[in-house]
Amino acid sequence: MDNKCIFNPNSLNVNRLPYKSVQAPIISERVPYREQSLLVCDENKDIFVKRPDACEKASGLSGIRRLTNNIRNYIRSYKQNVKHTYDHKLVFALVEKELFGKTSIDSLTHDADKMILYLLGFPKSFVSKYHRTNSVHHTESGKNMNLRSMLCDNIASSPEFKPEKKKSLREHFSTSKELQSVVGFKELLEKYNFGENLDFEKIKAMKAQRYDGFKGIGKVALRILVAFISM
């Protein structure tokens, strides 16, 4: 005998949970369509939950790493600023010796304020501004200019000793209204031919031979100390 099965649609998926209808929010017919859609979204706003950004919770190690990098960069720039100022002091003294046959107290005290402020940990922006507004070889100070110190400082700041400088002293003076306004400085520059007669390679060699390294630093420090005691 043939058995025929009659499927009851209610008997399918008997393990499935009973269907529960979700009642749509009651919206007044007077509410415009755009506002109705906003109401529906507001009613179902807790259905989708935004996953929190991992970076908001995992900033511990990255924060420590960032702080370490900042400290490392500060120490690196600190050492560069001190060395840059020290090298410039040496070149200033050697330039003065080559031009005038001897060094003056200016070669010992030149940029000493910058060295002290850098050693105390002040940032370069503050040190540079303070130095230029308080030194008699910078026009920003508004003081009576020390022309001899100005001459040696500008020659020691030429591209031969500071590669970051792109203009020679002659070119720089031709475009600098500040330097041109200093009475007597143009005549002094022309008298010494803008320092172009100096043997720059000789000055570099003397600096490397006499004053580089810890021995050279000690020698310079001793000379500065003796000069201040004798003043």
Which among 150, 144, 223, 162 has a CA at the least distance from the CA of 188? Answer: 150
The pLDDT tens digits of the residues spanning 50-99 come to 555 555 444 556 678 777 777 777 677 778 888 889 899 999 999 999 99
Q: What is the DSSP letter of 231?
A: -
pTM to 2 decimal places: 0.64
Which among 87, 90, 83 has a CA at the least distance from the CA of 107? Answer: 90
H or E segment and range at residue 38: helix 33-43
What gap in Å lies between CA 130 and CA 96, rounded to an integer? 24
| Model pLDDT, residue 99 | 95
The pLDDT tens digits of the residues spanning 127-148 come to 999 999 999 999 998 889 999 9
Tally of CB atoms within 10 A around 196: 13
The pLDDT tens digits of the residues spanning 5-54 come to 554 555 455 455 554 555 555 555 555 545 545 444 454 444 445 555 55
Q: Contact, 227 vs 108, CB < 8 A?
A: yes
| Model pLDDT, residue 186 | 96
The pLDDT tens digits of the residues spanning 142-193 come to 889 999 999 999 999 999 999 889 899 999 999 999 999 999 999 999 999 9
Which among 205, 81, 95 has a CA at the least distance from the CA of 156? Answer: 95
